[in-house]
Amino acid sequence: MATEVKVPVLGESITEATLGEWLKQPGDAVAVDEPIASLETDKVSVEVPSPVAGVMGAHAVKVGDTVEVGAMIATIDAGDGAPAAATAPQPAVTASPVPAEAAPSAPAGQQAPAAPSDNGPAALSPSVRRAVLEFGVDPATVKGTGKDGRITKEDVTAAASAKPAAAPAAAPEPAVAPSVAAASGRKEERVRMTRLRQTIAKRLKEAQNTAAMLTTFNDVDMTAVIEARAKYKDLFEKKHGVRLGFMGFFAKAACMALKDLPSVNASIEGDEIVYHDYADISVAVSGPGGLVVPVIRDADQMSVAQIEKTIGDFGRRAKDGSLKMEEMKGGTFTISNGGVFGSLMSTPIINPPQSAVLGLHRIEDRAVVVNGQIVIRPMMYLALSYDHRLIDGREAVTFLVALKNAIEDPTRILIDL
Taking only the tens place, the pLDDT of each residue in 125-135 is 656 766 776 77
Indicate if 241 and 357 belong to the same structural domain: yes
Whether the predicted pLDDT of 226 surpasses 90: yes
Confidence of residue 180 (pLDDT cuts 50, 70, 90): low
d(CA 338, CA 180): 35
List the catalytic residue out of 33, 80, 118, 388. Answer: 388
Residue 240 falls in the annotated catalytic set: no
Average pLDDT over the chain, rounded to an integer = 80
DSSP per residue over 220-265, as a string?
EE-HHHHHHHHHHHHHHHHHHSS---SHHHHHHHHHHHHHH-GGGG
Confidence of residue 9 (pLDDT cuts 50, 70, 90): confident
pTM over 0.75: no
Count of the separate structural domains present in the chain: 2
Does residue 272 belong to any structural domain of this protein?
yes
Q: How many residues does the chain have?
A: 417
Report the amino acid identity of residue 69. V
pLDDT (tens digit per residue) in 65-98 = 888 888 888 888 876 654 444 344 444 344 344 4
Indicate if 213 and 326 belong to the same structural domain: yes
Confidence of residue 354 (pLDDT cuts 50, 70, 90): very high
Does residue 146 belong to any structural domain of this protein?
yes
Express the helix, strand and coil content of the chain in percent, nearest 5 each: 40, 25, 35
pLDDT (tens digit per residue) in 292-326 = 889 999 999 999 999 999 998 998 888 877 788 78
Does residue 285 belong to any structural domain of this protein?
yes
Q: Which range, 68-72, 114-118, 148-152, 230-234, has the best average confidence (pLDDT)?
A: 230-234
CATH code at position 94: 2.40.50.100
CB atoms within 10 A of CB 62: 14
Residue 392 falls in the annotated catalytic set: yes
Does residue 180 belong to any structural domain of this protein?
no
DSSP per residue over 253-297, as a string?
HHHHHHHH-GGGG-EEETTEEE--SS--EEE-EEETTEEE--EET
Indicate if 154 and 218 belong to the same structural domain: no
d(CA 333, CA 295): 9
Helix, strand, or coil (residue 361): strand
List the catalytic residue out of 260, 298, 392, 416. Answer: 392
Mean pLDDT of 26-33: 86
d(CA 25, CA 335): 40
Residue 21's domain comprises 2-175
pLDDT (tens digit per residue) in 233-288 = 999 999 999 999 999 999 999 999 999 999 999 999 988 999 999 999 999 887 76
Rg of the chain (C-alpha set): 25
